[in-house]
Amino acid sequence: MNATGPVHEALAALPLTDHHCHGIVTADLDLPGFESLLTEGEPWPGVSPFDTPLGIAVRRHCAPLLDLPRHASPDAYLTRRAELGGPEVNRRFLTAAATDTFCVDTGYTPHPITTPRELAATADATAYEVVRLESVAEQLASTGVEPDAYPDAFRTAAEEAVRRPGVVAVKSVAAYRTGFDLDPARPSDTLVAAAARQWSAHGGRLADPVLVRHLLWTAVDLGLPLQLHTGFGDDDIRLHRADPALLTDWLRLIRGTIPVVLLHCWPYQRQAAYLAAVFEQVYLDVGLTLHHVGPARSRAILAEALEITPFRKLLYSSDAYGLAELYRLGALAFRRGLGELLQERVDADELGLPDALRIAAWAAGDNARRLYGLTAPEPGRAPDSAPATRPAPDTRPHRD
Amino acid sequence: MNATGPVHEALAALPLTDHHCHGIVTADLDLPGFESLLTEGEPWPGVSPFDTPLGIAVRRHCAPLLDLPRHASPDAYLTRRAELGGPEVNRRFLTAAATDTFCVDTGYTPHPITTPRELAATADATAYEVVRLESVAEQLASTGVEPDAYPDAFRTAAEEAVRRPGVVAVKSVAAYRTGFDLDPARPSDTLVAAAARQWSAHGGRLADPVLVRHLLWTAVDLGLPLQLHTGFGDDDIRLHRADPALLTDWLRLIRGTIPVVLLHCWPYQRQAAYLAAVFEQVYLDVGLTLHHVGPARSRAILAEALEITPFRKLLYSSDAYGLAELYRLGALAFRRGLGELLQERVDADELGLPDALRIAAWAAGDNARRLYGLTAPEPGRAPDSAPATRPAPDTRPHRD
Amino acid sequence: MNATGPVHEALAALPLTDHHCHGIVTADLDLPGFESLLTEGEPWPGVSPFDTPLGIAVRRHCAPLLDLPRHASPDAYLTRRAELGGPEVNRRFLTAAATDTFCVDTGYTPHPITTPRELAATADATAYEVVRLESVAEQLASTGVEPDAYPDAFRTAAEEAVRRPGVVAVKSVAAYRTGFDLDPARPSDTLVAAAARQWSAHGGRLADPVLVRHLLWTAVDLGLPLQLHTGFGDDDIRLHRADPALLTDWLRLIRGTIPVVLLHCWPYQRQAAYLAAVFEQVYLDVGLTLHHVGPARSRAILAEALEITPFRKLLYSSDAYGLAELYRLGALAFRRGLGELLQERVDADELGLPDALRIAAWAAGDNARRLYGLTAPEPGRAPDSAPATRPAPDTRPHRD
């Protein structure tokens, strides 16, 4: 786990574009509150979430930023964290993340969390917004929309949502709701209205396969890049149905339309790599995975993800939610893992140093800027890969 | 493959709890007999089972314990084995395994093998029993039970079986019989009786999906930890149906009831890790896998299994059957693989030494003792994770 | 990535048997033409196929054979390639591949490519032929065969195709057409005729599940080893349906008949290994994979593929198509990857050197020669594993 050499130095100096993350919880956190944000599930009596690879990584890599020794105890950690107070803690970790651009999914808010603008202010960075389409649909349903009007009403609501300044992408958590083993065809409005009627009658969250298909096809109409949760998550997912390979038939049907970004992917990072290698519009990251496995395994995960992935297709995301530590750990695990992988190949003369530096710069931010059209957003400039007919998004970022 | 350092020393000194294994074949073994026990399939003409990673590991790590040079030939190995005789060979390997506790699945007996008591005597250890529920059901069916009486009769037979002294868990080989792609709901007794009628008419082993579901739900009623074969095995399995992720819906339904232990898992160790990370009641091991892949790959397998698994959830098992060599190799591959993984992280300062030692002790035995309530079993003391309403098992071990 | 030591030396000196490959494109290649052969998909505007692990490997390991520095630019590479001309380039790479035997799939010819005889002449090697059964069926269909006559006519056409001199195996791309989630039973001729009628009415390539099953069972009747594409390929595949584990029920039904060789396998190399470990007739390779991931990852892939695979079951193939570079890279990645894996185990004394050399020789060619009956083909000598009742193929090779 050597972290010296020119590739490591380059990655340390490159600010990251975190193309998929969430906000930070703003409330003060005690030990139970902190632990509940440290795990994808709920904490369990007698089993500390600190006794995981993520917990070990927090104690190793975050404690020193709170002026504590490496491997500090959870109690010492939480005590010091409280002493410093949320704003100072958040500032330290977000500064250490050295991330200058965030694309923030604003549709997941079980806790009071920072807005993109607040996150950007804390990190001295720029924030864009990612619209979660399930939230748009559920918001619409909560207004009591007529089922027959739902197909159009959802399209309209989604169009309005992405017209907000700073929106650069949409996201779907179809993986959680139905999984990807869906009929890939666009459902007729009649079919969608019938499903909306059922949903209206029974309530709950959007989880009907026809409505999920309608949502995915609406994303195609919107023309913005679509981020898809794939692979692991909390206990609400059926992992085998979140294998991105199940998207293949749909990806064929939408060829030539929108970019599709596969998020997280673990343990299906090789399946995701296959899709990124054969479909022009497919990109991937291993966000969420990297902070859960920690720096000790980040190279191994990235090595699998990159076995056949074109180097233009790898993005960086933290998928951090809630804890400022996760922005720091995601960035560290990414820089460390990618640095080790590339530096080792340079040292073995399997890869030229200029190529390694180019790949590092692409993954750190160039690929995301190119995909989302983030660089110097001129009026009317659409992301490179978006269909020309799509109305150019106003990507004026929140900048503080 | 460095095996020095304080973590290795600690693991060498820690006696193991082998929470899932079988008995040793007591008959003398010639080369064909030995080879047939060395492979999960049947031996094939012209292809020696010694020409596998397991065979290489036997010649490398077991030959010296029979006073032979490393990498001794199969013929030399079998000759020396016969010279020493079964009891001496078994004594040497079981002593070398340095395992002080065995939980023995007594329901798989294609050959005459040792009882738990005999195994314990050979190893100078303590043995508990694991009741294989399919064997209970098939034993019941062989008595000609009335199909309408089957649902209750199986529950009663299972309750009786686990009431025997020293029983600490039940096991199911549903992976072999139907796989895990089952309706997760508890079947009605009417449905079960109808399936029992079919089974009674057609005979054979228990392989009906309704009967398998009834078996799994009976395990929930019994209240003891349930061990589940997952992943690879012999040619009787359909690997993709033994992916533990397929259990997700059932694991949700049984939340708050019994612990479920995923055995073997390969090549789905990451899927198993996901379940262990998000479901409080799920544990895993990579038994069987470790001796098949051998010490040269044990770190790699454990590294994948531990990417996100909480350290309280990893157990050790050999899943040894028949050959005393397999107890030795399982223990060696576990100590070596876990030792390398932890020591490397300590050496890189990614993990504190006290934490590494704690994780090693948990995996070597503490986790299993806690799960099965094995330590100093006081009268009426139930395993920690078992529901309070379950009658406390008499876990008086067989001790010699 | 150390490549010294006796195992590496032995592998460098061993000529390879490439048991599955295709021909070389004979036309001159400009940059777009070269790039289109470098990727499994189509090239995309703005994303060079050189910016992949395969592209990096070409610039690193192929450029020096064209008298260029390591890591030469794509432009310099193509310029020099054109200067030397196709025949000289092909000669250099095929010589560097140090492969003395090729088994050539002649049924995939989207470009004008070399015949087996021409390939053999370029490489100063021996070439055998592999008959792609889908091509036989589609050729038959193009003649306007009566649907009722199709079942017998296909069997007859296949028998004729494999009777050609030098044919040693058949191949199916069922993975592309339907995937492996098929009813494993042999379909009746009535059923096949009905499916042939549908096919005749609708045209297109052979993709009906009944016709694919008939094709696979015809392969069983032919008695020659059957090569099956499994795992990844171009964007025409649904990856999850190409998991070889899905073949399990069919492999059980055909036990005792023909050898089945699982090609490529990635990312299901462990699933393939399981099948090779439990079914006598199953073999595997990681061809195609190795040149796509490149020498930097070939050891990792082989290590997974060999976790439980009997050493008699691993074959070498390049699965090269079109570019002479791919024969060179496949051979290099195989020698390097297997050499590193075995040498490392020898250095750690986990494996005896004589055993390592034996395993290397088996994988480099002995296993393939044994399987296909390639060594010194005497008149009437059938491959070792073929059923005795099968008419012996005339395996007179094309030799120049």
Closest of B237, B384, B354, B363 to residue B310, by C-alpha? B363
Chain A contact residues (CB < 8 Å to B): 1, 39-42, 44, 46-47, 49, 51-54, 56-57, 59-60, 70-71, 232, 234-235, 237-240, 266-267, 292-297, 300-301
Residue B250 clears pLDDT 80, i.e. is over it = yes
Mean of the pLDDT values across residues C61-78?
Answer: 98
pLDDT band at C393 (very low <50, low <70, confident <90, very high): very low
Q: In the prediction, which pLDDT does A142 show?
A: 95
Determine, for residues A239 and B252 on separate chains, whether the beta-carbon distance falls below 8 Å.
Answer: no
- Per-residue pLDDT, C40: 67
Give me the percent of chain B exceeding a pLDDT of 90: 87
Contact predicate C175/C224, CB 8 Å: no
Q: Chain A partners of C40 at a C-beta cutoff of 8 Å?
A: 277-278
* Distance (Å) of CA A384 to CA A250, A256, A363, A372, C49: 22, 13, 16, 7, 18
Q: Of all residues in chain C, what percent carry a pLDDT higher than 70?
A: 92
Q: Do you find a cis peptide bond into B295, omega within 30 degrees of 0?
A: no
pLDDT at position A376 over 50: no
B316-320, B360-364, B389-393: which range is least confident on average?
B389-393
Is pLDDT above 90 for B45?
no
Residue in chain A lying closest to B269 (CA): A267
pLDDT single digits (tens) C9-45: 999 999 999 999 999 998 888 998 999 999 866 778 8
pLDDT at A34: 94
In this prediction, residue A353 has a pLDDT band, given cuts at 50, 70 and 90, of very high
pLDDT tens readout for residues B137-156: 999 999 999 999 999 999 99
- Average pLDDT of the residues in B120-124: 95
Average pLDDT of the residues in B264-291: 97
Q: Number of A to B CB contacts under 8 A, please give it.
A: 83
pLDDT at B220: 98
Kindly tell me if the per-residue pLDDT of B290 is higher than 90: yes
Statement: residue A387 has pLDDT above 50:
no
pLDDT(B384) > 80: no
Q: For position A375, what pLDDT does the model report?
A: 64
pLDDT tier at C2 (50, 70, 90 boundaries)?
low
Nearest to B291 by CA among B257, B312, B265, B317: B317
Using a pLDDT cut of 90, give the percent of chain C over it.
87
pLDDT at B375: 64
Which chains neighbour A (Cβ–Cβ under 8 Å, 3 or more pairs)?
A: B, C
Residue-wise over C94-122: b if at least 16 C-beta within 10 A, else e? bbbbbbbbbbbbbbeeebebbebbbbbbb
For every residue of A146-209, DSSP letters joined together read -GGGHHHHHHHHHHHHHTSTTEEEEEE-HHHHT-S-S--SPPPHHHHHHHHHHHHHH-SSS--H
How high is the pLDDT of residue B43? 76
pLDDT single digits (tens) B186-244: 999 999 999 999 999 999 999 999 999 999 999 999 999 999 999 999 999 999 999 99
Please say if the pLDDT value at position C386 is more than 50: no
Interface test with A, best of B280, B281, B353, B367 (most A CBs within 10 A): B280
Domains and CATH numbers, chain A: 6-28+85-372 (3.20.20.140), 29-41+49-84 (no CATH)
Chain B residue numbers with beta carbons less than 8 Å from the beta carbon of A319 are none
Give the pLDDT score at C39.
84
Query: Which of residues A44 and A123 earns the better pLDDT score?
Result: A123
**Which tens digits make up the pLDDT trace of C205-256?**
999 999 999 999 999 999 999 999 999 999 999 999 999 999 999 999 999 9
pLDDT value of residue C61? 98
- A371/chain B closest Cα distance in angstroms: 30
pLDDT at A198 over 90: yes
Compare CB distances from B297 to C303, C311, C352 and report the shortest one's residue. Answer: C303
pLDDT at B41: 64
How many residues can be counted in chain A? 400
Residue B296 has pLDDT above 70, yes or no: yes
Q: Residue A140: name the closest of A107, A183, A92, A105 by CA.
A: A107
Question: For residue B27, what pLDDT band results from cuts at 50, 70 and 90?
Answer: confident
- Give the neighbours of chain C: at least 3 Cβ pairs within 8 Å: A, B
C234, C240, C241, C292: best to mutate for the A interface, most A CBs within 10 A: C240
**Among the partner residues C248, C310, C350, nearest to B295 by beta-carbon distance:** C350
Residue C231 and residue C264: Cα distance in Å, rounded? 6
pLDDT at A40 over 90: no
Q: Flag if A310 and C52 touch (Cβ within 8 Å).
A: yes
Mean pLDDT of the region B71-90: 96
Q: Is it the case that residue C376 has pLDDT exceeding 60?
A: no
Interchain contact, A292 vs B307, CB within 8 Å: yes
Tokens of C18: 């490439």
C348 three-state secondary structure: coil
Nearest CA distance, A399 vs chain C (angstrom): 30
Taking Cα atoms as reference points, which of C259, C227, C253, C255 lies closest to residue C383?
A: C259
Residue from the list A246, A310, A345 with its beta carbon closest to the beta carbon of C296: A345
> Chain A residue with minimal CA distance to B345?
A296
Q: What is the CA radius of gyration of chain A?
A: 21
CB contact under 8 A, A47 and B310: yes
3-state class of B236 per DSSP? coil
- Which pLDDT does position B381 carry in this prediction? 30
| Two structure tokens written together for C171 | 């191949």
How much is the pLDDT for A41? 64
Q: Decide if pLDDT at B393 tops 90.
A: no
The mean pLDDT of chain A is 92
What φ, ψ does residue C331 adopt, rounded to 5°?
-65, -40
State residue A110's pLDDT score. Answer: 87
The C-alpha of A62 sits at a distance from chain B's nearest C-alpha, in angstroms, of 12
d(CA C313, CA C172): 19
Q: Is B289 within 8 Å of B301 (Cβ atoms)?
A: yes
Q: What is chain B's length?
A: 400
Model confidence at C399: pLDDT above 60: no
**Residue whose structure tokens are 């070399």:** C114
Residue B279 has pLDDT above 60, yes or no: yes
Mean pLDDT of A187-199: 98
Token code pair at residue B171: 């096991």
What residues in C contact A352, CB-CB < 8 Å? 59-60, 70-71
Residues of B209-242 as b/e, b for ≥16 C-beta within 10 angstroms? bbbbbbbbbbbbebbbbbbbbbbbbebebbbbbb
Supply the mean pLDDT for chain C.
Answer: 92
Mean pLDDT (chain B) is: 92
- Does the pLDDT of residue A390 top 80, yes or no? no
- Contact: B310, A52; criterion CB under 8 Å: yes
For residue B378, pLDDT over 50 is answered with: no
A273-328 pLDDT, tens digit each: 999 999 999 999 999 999 999 999 999 999 999 999 999 999 999 999 999 999 99
Whether A246 has a pLDDT exceeding 60, the answer reads: yes
